[in-house]
């Protein structure tokens, strides 16, 4: 973004040009009022859609969290903080929070570390790197639902590909379908496989945009590969790492398709239930929309706090 | 010279080995799906699992067409994706034009309002949106699936950033020639913007084609359910699963988007990275 301010603002004399005065009608339409009306006409449809389907439900969701409400019923009862108190006291809330934290941390760290490693690898002059770059990015365009369906069979403990590979090297095959820990491992690996390509292309683009002089200077100073990576590459990538840490976290917290398709939140009740999945279960399966809204609100608040902390930490480090 | 050359050669060999490993990790699962889609149902249940179908059969593909309203799901996906891509392109380009070329008090604030929508996660919007769509009687309709997804934040951001990089002299010259706003946009700005518009369109196509949660909630049967929802339904029963048929359906579901991707990946990657790789 070379021009942070609007180019229009750099031309305050535009309206007083003689050409404008020569065409009074156009001058009137292009005048301050006409311009404002046109602005509204162009922006309002989009703004209205975002208002009705993003910001209205955001507020409404907070209101709903104070109600006892069956989503298919027209009436709801105000119950104050009861949903929040119930959430705090229920044992499954904490199991779900734990799942969410494990899944999110593993997904964010896993896809970012692997994405960076692959970007560093495929930034080298290796023959055939173009094909590998495409291959790494390809799963990102495949639907999560389709990947969930495919990987459910790939992880089949008896007849799947993972089972075939593990048997080949003489390792025992875990029961990915029945053991909650292995089930969580399965959905996390599947998620990373699908989304790795995103962190990869963002890191690769950042590496390709880096200034070559810095590296030449490091080489002249006799810095080795590791030293160069630590003191030149990583600091250069800090803004990218910051951007990714927020976007990848936001995306991985919203995963529904892979978990729904592969495990339905199970096994053993809530083995792979994350907070998003719990919102769905409470609202659309247990018909407790108020409680679902409570879980959603708690999660949103936590997300706001985490993002604010991330922004502050990164601000302090970069300035 | 020699030890350095030796180290760098070892580095290259390690690099190629790593590339092979990466390629295998991505390709093997897809190969497994493809191979299974050509197996007979019996072939699936042998141990150890077979890496090659014997006999090779295309029956799973005909079973997809016979037993699943696959074409219906496919058409629904085309309708939903087509409508959303059209709506988002039009709304995104028009909004971006206004944010860059029209003066309005508090314009920056309005832009932040559009952009901040990206930060609102979907689980906080689905409950209230579902209630609203129910009240409107739009459950199991195309409009019920399409409208809540039609607002565009990312595309507006992408197009606005692009418009800001265009030289203002060209726009000023066009205006002095008496070029109105619509003509300026259609004849001057868009012809200079195709790569960004293509990137915007591609990212939107991929996102909407792959959308799951919202269509899954709103579509109750195959009249409006898109491909992803239909595909996931194939393994929704605890009963016997015809894995070769399900894998054939998976192949049919992912192939169109993979073809689009392979042809146009450069544009898509450019769009994804243009907002991210800035200081």
In this structure, how many other beta carbons lie within 10 angstroms of the beta carbon of residue B72? 16
> Which of B152, B178, B253 lies nearest to residue A46, judging by beta carbons?
B152
**B207 in a domain, yes or no?**
yes
Helix or strand (DSSP H, E) at A146:
helix A144-154
**B12 in a domain, yes or no?**
no
Contacts of B51 in chain A (CB under 8 A): 164
- Name the DSSP letter for residue B37: T
Contacts of A219 in chain B (CB under 8 A): none
Per the prediction, chain B carries an average pLDDT of 90
Q: What local confidence, expressed as pLDDT, does residue B145 receive?
A: 97
Per-residue pLDDT tens over the stretch B168-217? 888 888 888 888 888 889 888 999 899 899 999 999 999 999 999 999 99
Task: Between A317 and B47, name the one with better pLDDT.
Answer: B47
Rounded (5°) CA angle B185-B186-B191: 100
Burial of B85 (0-12, 13-18, 19+ CB in 10 A): buried
Q: Whole-prediction pTM value?
A: 0.89
> Which of B123, B232, B278 lies nearest to residue A254, judging by beta carbons?
B123
Nearest-Cα residue of chain A relative to residue B251: A146
* Per-residue pLDDT at A13 exceeds 50: no
Percentage of chain B exceeding pLDDT 70: 95
> Which of A54, A118, A243 lies nearest to residue B151, judging by beta carbons?
A54
Nearest-Cα residue of chain A relative to residue B50: A164
Q: What local confidence, expressed as pLDDT, does residue B237 receive?
A: 63
ipTM of the prediction greater than 0.85, yes or no: yes
* Per-residue pLDDT at B257 exceeds 50: yes
Question: What string of DSSP letters covers B39-75?
Answer: S-HHHHT-SSPPSS-SS---HHHHHHHHHS-HHHHHH
Residue contact A55–B49, C-beta within 8 A? no
Per-residue pLDDT tens over the stretch A16-75? 444 444 444 444 445 678 889 999 999 999 999 999 999 999 999 999 999 999 988 878
Nearest-Cα residue of chain A relative to residue B34: A150
Burial of B126 (0-12, 13-18, 19+ CB in 10 A): buried
Q: B153 in contact with A at a CB cutoff of 8 Å? A: yes
Domain count along chain B: 1
Could you give the C-alpha distances from B21 to A17, A48, B17, B18, in angstroms and in order? Answer: 65, 48, 6, 5
Neighbouring C-alpha atoms within 13 Å toward the C-beta of A215: 12
Q: What local confidence, expressed as pLDDT, does residue B31 receive?
A: 96
Q: A14 in contact with B at a CB cutoff of 8 Å? A: yes
Peptide bond into B7 cis (omega under 30): no
Give the three-class secondary structure for A172. Answer: coil
Per the prediction, chain A carries an average pLDDT of 86
**B266 in a domain, yes or no?**
yes
Q: Average pLDDT for residues A71-89, to the nearest whole number?
A: 91
**B44 in a domain, yes or no?**
no
- Structural domain boundaries enclosing B210: 68-274
Contacts of B23 in chain A (CB under 8 A): 131-132, 135
Q: What local confidence, expressed as pLDDT, does residue A288 receive?
A: 94
Cβ–Cβ under 8 Å, residues B246 and B235: yes
Question: What string of DSSP letters covers A3-48?
Answer: --S-GGGG-GGGGG-HHHHH-HHHHHHTSHHHHHHHHHHHHHHHHH
Q: B98 in contact with A at a CB cutoff of 8 Å? A: yes
Q: B170 in contact with A at a CB cutoff of 8 Å? A: no
The tokens describing B242, both together, are 């015809």
Give the three-class secondary structure for B236. Answer: coil
In this structure, how many other beta carbons lie within 10 angstroms of the beta carbon of residue A231? 14
Euclidean distance between CA atoms A314 and B12, whole angstroms: 35
Residue with tokens 């029956």: B59
Per-residue pLDDT tens over the stretch A146-172? 999 999 999 998 889 999 999 889 999
> Which of B27, B101, B128 lies nearest to residue A61, judging by beta carbons?
B128
Q: Residue B95 sits in a domain of what CATH number?
A: 1.10.3720.10
Confidence of residue B238 (pLDDT cuts 50, 70, 90): low
Q: A143 in contact with B at a CB cutoff of 8 Å? A: yes
Burial of B17 (0-12, 13-18, 19+ CB in 10 A): exposed
Chain A closest-CA separation from residue B87 CA (Å): 9
Confidence of residue B128 (pLDDT cuts 50, 70, 90): very high
Angle between helices A238-253 and A91-122 (to 10 degrees): 140
Residue with tokens 């969580």: A184
Angle between helices B126-135 and A289-318 (to 10 degrees): 140
Within 8 A by CB and 6+ apart from B31, the residues are none
* Per-residue pLDDT at A186 exceeds 50: yes
**B217 in a domain, yes or no?**
yes
Burial of A29 (0-12, 13-18, 19+ CB in 10 A): middle
* Per-residue pLDDT at A233 exceeds 50: yes
User: Among A15, A24, A42, A136, which would you mutate to test the B interface (most chain B Cβ atoms within 10 Å of its Cβ)?
Assistant: A42
Euclidean distance between CA atoms A264 and A281, whole angstroms: 9
* Per-residue pLDDT at A187 exceeds 50: yes
* Per-residue pLDDT at B117 exceeds 70: yes
Euclidean distance between CA atoms A296 and B127, whole angstroms: 9
> Which of A137, A146, A279 lies nearest to residue B265, judging by beta carbons?
A137
Residue contact A7–B171, C-beta within 8 A? yes
Query: With a CB-CB cutoff of 8 Å, which residues 229-248 of chain B face chain A?
Result: 229, 231-232, 234-235, 243, 246-247
Residue contact A144–B210, C-beta within 8 A? yes
Q: What local confidence, expressed as pLDDT, does residue A2 receive?
A: 32
Q: Average pLDDT for residues B64-93, to the nearest whole number?
A: 95
**B279 in a domain, yes or no?**
no
Which residues on neighbouring strands pair with residue A78, listed in sequence order?
A67
Within 8 A by CB and 6+ apart from B85, the residues are B201, B204, B205, B208
Per-residue pLDDT tens over the stretch A94-122? 999 999 999 999 999 999 999 999 999 99
Nearest-Cα residue of chain A relative to residue B149: A53
Euclidean distance between CA atoms A119 and A199, whole angstroms: 9
Give the three-class secondary structure for A78. Answer: strand
In this structure, how many other beta carbons lie within 10 angstroms of the beta carbon of residue B54? 10
Rounded (5°) CA angle B4-B9-B14: 125
* Per-residue pLDDT at A279 exceeds 50: yes
**B230 in a domain, yes or no?**
yes
User: Among B27, B102, B172, which would you mutate to test the A interface (most chain A Cβ atoms within 10 Å of its Cβ)?
Assistant: B102
Residue contact A280–B147, C-beta within 8 A? no
Task: Between B277 and A256, name the one with better pLDDT.
Answer: A256
**B176 in a domain, yes or no?**
yes
Give the three-class secondary structure for B38. Answer: coil
CA nearest A104: which of A264, A311, A308, A303?
Answer: A303
Residue with tokens 């034009």: B97
CA nearest A104: which of A234, A279, A247?
Answer: A247
Lowest mean pLDDT among A99-113, A204-218, B107-121: A204-218
């Amino acid at each position: 973004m070379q021009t942070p301010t609007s180019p229009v603002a750099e031309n305050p004399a535009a309206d007083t040009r003689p050409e404008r005065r020569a065409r009074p009608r156009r001058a009137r339409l292009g005048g301050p009022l006409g311009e404002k009306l046109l602005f509204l006409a162009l922006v309002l449809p989009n703004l209205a859609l975002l208002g009705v389907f993003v910001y209205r439900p955001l507020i409404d969701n907070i209101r709903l969290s104070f109600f006892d409400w069956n989503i298919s019923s027209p009436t709801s009862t105000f119950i104050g903080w009861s949903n929040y108190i119930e959430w705090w006291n229920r044992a499954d809330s904490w199991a779900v929070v734990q799942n969410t934290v494990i899944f999110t941390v593993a997904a964010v760290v896993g896809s970012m570390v692997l994405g960076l490693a692959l970007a560093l690898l495929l930034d080298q002059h290796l023959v055939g790197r173009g094909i590998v770059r495409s291959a790494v990015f390809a799963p990102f365009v495949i639907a999560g639902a389709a990947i969930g369906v495919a990987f459910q069979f790939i992880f089949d403990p008896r007849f799947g590909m993972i089972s075939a590979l593990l048997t080949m090297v003489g390792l025992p095959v875990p029961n990915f379908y029945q053991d909650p820990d292995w089930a969580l491992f399965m959905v996390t690996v599947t998620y990373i496989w699908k989304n790795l390509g995103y962190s990869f292309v963002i890191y690769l683009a950042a590496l390709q945009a880096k200034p070559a002089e810095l590296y030449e200077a490091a080489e002249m100073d006799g810095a080795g590969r590791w030293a160069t990576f630590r003191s030149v590459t990583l600091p250069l990538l800090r803004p990218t790492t910051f951007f990714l840490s927020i976007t990848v976290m936001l995306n991985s917290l919203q995963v529904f398709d892979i978990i729904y398709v592969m495990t339905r939140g199970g096994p053993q009740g809530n083995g792979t239930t994350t907070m998003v999945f719990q919102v769905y279960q409470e609202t659309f399966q247990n018909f407790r929309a108020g409680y679902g809204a409570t879980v959603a609100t708690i999660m949103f608040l936590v997300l706001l706090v985490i993002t604010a902390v991330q922004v502050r930490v990164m601000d302090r480090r970069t300035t | 010279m020699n030890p350095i050359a030796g180290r760098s050669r070892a580095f290259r060999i390690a690099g190629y080995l790593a590339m092979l490993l990466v390629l295998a990790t991505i390709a093997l699962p897809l190969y497994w799906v493809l191979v299974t889609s050509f197996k007979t149902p019996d072939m699936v249940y042998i141990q150890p699992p077979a890496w090659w179908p014997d006999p090779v059969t295309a029956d799973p593909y005909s079973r997809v067409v016979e037993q699943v309203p696959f074409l219906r799901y496919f058409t629904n996906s085309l309708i939903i994706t087509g409508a959303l891509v059209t709506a988002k392109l039009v709304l995104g380009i028009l909004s971006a034009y206004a944010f860059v070329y029209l003066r309005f008090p508090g314009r920056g604030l309005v832009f932040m309002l559009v952009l901040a929508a990206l930060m609102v996660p979907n689980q906080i919007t689905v409950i209230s949106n579902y209630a609203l769509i129910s009240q409107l009687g739009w459950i199991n309709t195309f409009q019920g699936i399409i409208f809540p997804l039609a607002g565009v934040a990312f595309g507006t951001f992408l197009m606005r950033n692009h418009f800001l990089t265009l030289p203002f002299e060209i726009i000023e010259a066009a205006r002095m020639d008496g070029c109105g706003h619509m003509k300026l946009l259609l004849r001057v700005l868009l012809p200079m913007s195709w790569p960004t518009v293509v990137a915007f369109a591609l990212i939107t196509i991929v996102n909407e084609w792959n959308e799951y949660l919202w269509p899954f909630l709103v579509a109750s049967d195959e009249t409006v359910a898109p491909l992803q929802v239909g595909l996931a339904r194939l393994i929704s029963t605890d009963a016997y699963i015809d894995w070769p048929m399900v894998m054939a359906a998976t192949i049919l579901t992912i192939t169109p988007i993979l073809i689009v991707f392979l042809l146009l990946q450069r544009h898509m990657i450019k769009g994804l990275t243009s907002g991210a790789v800035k200081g």
